[in-house]
Structure 1
Amino acid sequence: MKRDIFLSELEILKGIAETLNEGTELKAVLGECLRKLLQLTSLEAGWIFLINQEGEYELVAAESLPPALTNPKHQALTQGDCWCVSRFRNGTLTKASNIMECKRLENARLGNWGDTYGLVYHATVPLKAGEEQFGLLNVAVANKEKFEAHELSILESIAYQIGTALKRIHLTMKEQDIKIVEERNRLARDLHDSVNQLLYSINVTSSAGIRLAKEQPIKEIMADIQRMSQHAQAEMKGLIWQLRPAGLEEGLACSVKKYGEMLGLEVDLSVEGISRLTTLQEETLWRIAQEAFHNALKHSGEHKVSVVLDYKQNTVVMTISDDGVGFDYAEGTFLPSMGLKGMEERVKCMDGKIIMNSKLGEGTTLKVELPIQQRGKC
């Protein structure tokens, strides 16, 4: 006798909707949504993949998985390929489907990676909102070979709810990012108009004091005040650049070159194509250039860097390189700088990628690629 795992469709949809409306932190929302789904149904296990435009997938939520799928040695759900992810990538997985032979479950079973709790088959549903697709919802029940048509239909409704919530979260985070940029700009203006002007006045006053003072000790005090004010002005200028790149209103390329020269670097800049970037994309590339310049100053032993901005039809590529001492770095490992690691996460949130190449004695190259028409996922 076949079992209907969905006893009350309206109750399930209502419960999922309430859960999705309660938060804005992406992974927390998806995890709670998956737990709620299993509580309201007879589903026994589930997991959610988010998949970016390059086809890279990330396991962002999992609930009640058997030991075979959580075995840290084999990482069944975080490594390798499978039918549902492959079909999502090539655009042929457009609706809820039965996966009759899950490669991940099959590998776990054949490899004796642990107990599978009787899970052999699962259903997979693309998470989407309109034309945008975000990933996959996979659910399973022990010894259940096939989900009926009405069960798949309900799963599609749930997946659509999740996809709509993901789009809402993306828009909310983008709005927050814009507000952060605006607040930094406000702080930069305030610092420039108040503190920076005050430091300039101290510098001018102390310079006058040096000329007018009759006694040498007073001249020395005034000279010390002038040196400290000049140092503070330089620090303030750097801080204002950090908060609000003064050249961005003139374009990313101008801003990058000016900042490098302010640090004492010789910047060989090349621009190909026409810029069509959003404010957040320019901000991201600007911050990465800052970090790369500082690393070059500290570690390369060179004061000359090359920057190439290549605006293609669908992507922008920024390449920063130096001919310095370099270091041993294996592609795919963690980026060596915490600042660059943070930028790597930000780039991935915008469906981009960041690649570093470096060898001892052969310099360092940092390459960042962002889609011009992007849909950030974080």
Structure 2
Amino acid sequence: MMEENHMDELSTLKTIAETLNQANDLDLMLNDVLKKLLHVTGLQTGWIFLIDEKGRYKLSAHANLPPALSFKRMKPMCEGSCWCLDRYQDQRLTRAVNIINCKRIEDAIEFKWGDTQGISHHATVPLRAGDEKFGLLNVASPDKKQFSNEELALLESVAFQIGTAIKRINLAENEQKLALMAERNRLAQDLHDSVNQLLFSLTLTARAAKEMTTDENVLEMLSYMQELSQEALAEMRALIWQLRPKGLEEGIAVALNQYAKMLGLEATLDISGVKRLPNHIEEALWRIAQEALNNCKRHAGTKEVNVTVKRSQNKVDMTIQDEGHGFQYEDSLPLPSMGLSSMKERTEKLNGSFTIETKVGKGTAIHVTIPIA
């Protein structure tokens, strides 16, 4: 019997390992591996909390939750604290254990959120790889009030595999970001060394050629060539800035000021509390501001623009406002341009809010608020 149990355990670990080794998407991986775990162990219900360094948790995967726990779009699983989270955060939960009573289930019964389908207890085990912790794996079955030491040991092994896979995926994502940044820098340098220099040479050539003729038609054509090459040069410099924001290493205030000057805008900056913004938030604000300043340059009909960026304890607010032409806009309708849609998408990817205030002849204001961990 012991040998049979051992073979079952090895089979379970092999199945889980195969699922984890094929995964590159974290959310899909967690849901797939949870379903596989329940299937091979015969357990009915499971859920996974991912927990960040600040102790904030997210329900990242779940399977076969009873109505009492899936009430109102998983509200019982997404709000409030519980004993397993409390023990995890105060370092008391370091290995797989039985949770005698589950606060979420008790609340579901007390407030009559629905049928618990006989689930009253669950096992919980931290997801970890070495000294790094990522969250909790919880599993349960109807009328099961106790997990054996063998079951808990198996869950610990599975949780370690999941933790290792999470670390692998996180490292891969970081490598991809670094590779993307290196490629953007390479492309920016290539554009600067080739196309940018050619356009600059064309501008000088047109200017020199104008001094060599008195023919009005030729002078007009050369002037037009000079204007076009200067416009193309400005567009190319803006593109290079978008690929590799010169000055962002000195902070977003310097970068925005230099970019506005490069576009020929007269920017009034009011920036405070942003010296230690997280890198991903700083870059998102920079990209959003770039697009907003580009829109001002192209469409506002004014060179004056006000830029405000202020950080409070748990959020950063940015407003870019001009007193230009404005445009017709209604909240109920889709955004009228790809640039505005891109700004909104960047904001919402960071769980932020994006709003526009504009009227024809009354200017435009872009408001962005992004939470900070």
TM bucket normalised to smaller: 0.7 to 0.9
Corresponding residue of 2:220: 220
Q: 2:354 and 2:88 mapped to 1: Cα distance?
A: 29
Conservation of the 8 A alpha-carbon contact between 1:45 and 1:139: yes
Conservation of the 8 A alpha-carbon contact between 1:102 and 1:120: yes
Corresponding residue of 1:376: none
Q: Give, in angstroms, the shift of residue 338 of structure 1.
A: 4.7
Corresponding residue of 2:50: 50
AA paired with 1:285? E
Deviations 1:62-119 (A, max 9, x none): 1222233333356222233322223323333222222222222233334443333221
Q: Compare 193-202 and 214-223 and name the one that shifted more.
A: 214-223
Corresponding residue of 1:266: 267
357 and 97 in structure 1: CA distance in 2 versus 1, 3 angstrom threshold:
farther
Corresponding residue of 2:332: none
119 and 340 in structure 1: CA distance in 2 versus 1, 3 angstrom threshold:
same
Q: 2:341 and 2:107 mapped to 1: Cα distance?
A: 37
Q: 1:5 and 1:269 mapped to 2: Cα distance?
A: 67
Q: 1:79 and 1:190 mapped to 2: Cα distance?
A: 50
Conservation of the 8 A alpha-carbon contact between 2:309 and 2:317: yes
Q: Give, in angstroms, the shift of residue 19 of structure 1.
A: 1.2
Q: 1:369 and 1:107 mapped to 2: Cα distance?
A: 30
AA paired with 1:104? R
Structure 1 counterpart SS, 2:72: coil
How many residue pairs match? The answer is: 346
Corresponding residue of 2:60: 60
369 and 132 in structure 1: CA distance in 2 versus 1, 3 angstrom threshold:
farther
Structure 2 counterpart SS, 1:240: helix
Are residue 339 (structure 1) and residue 343 (structure 2) matched?
Answer: yes
Corresponding residue of 1:291: 288
Q: Give, in angstroms, the shift of residue 57 of structure 1.
A: 1.5
Are residue 27 (structure 1) and residue 27 (structure 2) matched?
Answer: yes
Q: 1:13 and 1:39 mapped to 2: Cα distance?
A: 12
Conservation of the 8 A alpha-carbon contact between 2:348 and 2:354: no
Instruction: Please report the RMSD computed on the Cα atoms of aligned residues, expressed in angstroms.
Output: 4.0
Deviations 1:191-210 (A, max 9, x none): 11111112112222222333
Corresponding residue of 2:165: 165
AA paired with 2:165? A
Pairs within 5 Å for 1:1-378: 8-72=8-72, 75-248=75-248, 254-263=254-263, 264-266=265-267, 268=269, 282=279, 284-292=281-289, 294-295=291-292, 303-306=305-308, 338-339=342-343, 341-343=345-347, 345=349
Conservation of the 8 A alpha-carbon contact between 2:347 and 2:370: no
Deviations 1:325-361 (A, max 9, x none): 9xxxxxxxxxx9752542563x58xxxxx6899999x
| Identical amino acids, percent of aligned pairs | 41
Whose radius of gyration is greater, 1 or 2? 2
AA paired with 1:31? N
305 and 249 in structure 1: CA distance in 2 versus 1, 3 angstrom threshold:
closer
AA paired with 2:286? A
Conservation of the 8 A alpha-carbon contact between 1:260 and 1:267: no
AA paired with 2:106? E
Corresponding residue of 1:330: none
AA paired with 1:303? V
Q: Compare 315-324 and 19-28 and name the one that shifted more.
A: 315-324
Runs of at least 5 residues in structure 2 that lack an aligned partner in the other structure? 324-339, 359-364
259 and 140 in structure 1: CA distance in 2 versus 1, 3 angstrom threshold:
same
Corresponding residue of 1:333: none
Structure 2 counterpart SS, 1:43: coil
Q: Give, in angstroms, the shift of residue 34 of structure 1.
A: 0.8
Q: 2:186 and 2:76 mapped to 1: Cα distance?
A: 48
Q: Give, in angstroms, the shift of residue 145 of structure 1.
A: 0.8
Q: Compare 168-177 and 212-221 and name the one that shifted more.
A: 212-221
Q: 1:157 and 1:283 mapped to 2: Cα distance?
A: 34
AA paired with 1:288? L
Q: Give, in angstroms, the shift of residue 367 of structure 1.
A: 7.0
Q: Give, in angstroms, the shift of residue 138 of structure 1.
A: 0.8
Structure 2 counterpart SS, 1:8: helix
Task: Compute the TM-score of the two structures, normalised by the length of structure 1.
Answer: 0.76
Conservation of the 8 A alpha-carbon contact between 1:272 and 1:309: yes
Q: 1:65 and 1:5 mapped to 2: Cα distance?
A: 27
100 and 364 in structure 1: CA distance in 2 versus 1, 3 angstrom threshold:
farther
Conservation of the 8 A alpha-carbon contact between 1:265 and 1:305: no
Q: 2:48 and 2:7 mapped to 1: Cα distance?
A: 23
Q: 2:186 and 2:266 mapped to 1: Cα distance?
A: 28
340 and 85 in structure 1: CA distance in 2 versus 1, 3 angstrom threshold:
farther
Deviations 1:108-151 (A, max 9, x none): 33444333322121111111112211111111111101112221
Q: Give, in angstroms, the shift of residue 218 of structure 1.
A: 2.8
AA paired with 2:346? G
117 and 7 in structure 1: CA distance in 2 versus 1, 3 angstrom threshold:
farther
Structure 2 counterpart SS, 1:77: helix
